[in-house]
Amino acid sequence: MKLLSRREFLKTGVAGSFLLAFSGWINAAGVRGLSDVEREMLAAVTGVILDGALPKEGAARQQLVMRTVDGIASAVSGLSLATQKEIGELLGLLVLAPARIVIAGVGRPWREASPADVAGFLDAWRNSRFGLLRSAYAALHDLILGAWYAQPDAWEAIGYPGPPEVF
Most confident of 11-15, 16-20, 58-62: 58-62
Rg (C-alpha) for the chain, rounded Å, is 18
- Chain-wide mean pLDDT for the chain? 85
Which residue type is seen at 13? G
Residue ranges per structural domain of the chain: 34-154
Q: What is the pTM of this model?
A: 0.77
**If we measure between CA atoms, which residue out of 145, 44, 148 comes closest to residue 91?**
44
pLDDT digits (tens, 9 = 90+) for 53-111: 888 889 999 999 999 999 999 999 999 999 999 999 999 999 999 999 999 999 999 99
**If we measure between CA atoms, which residue out of 111, 84, 102, 107 comes closest to residue 24?**
84
For the cut 60, the answer to whether the pLDDT of residue 156 exceeds it is yes
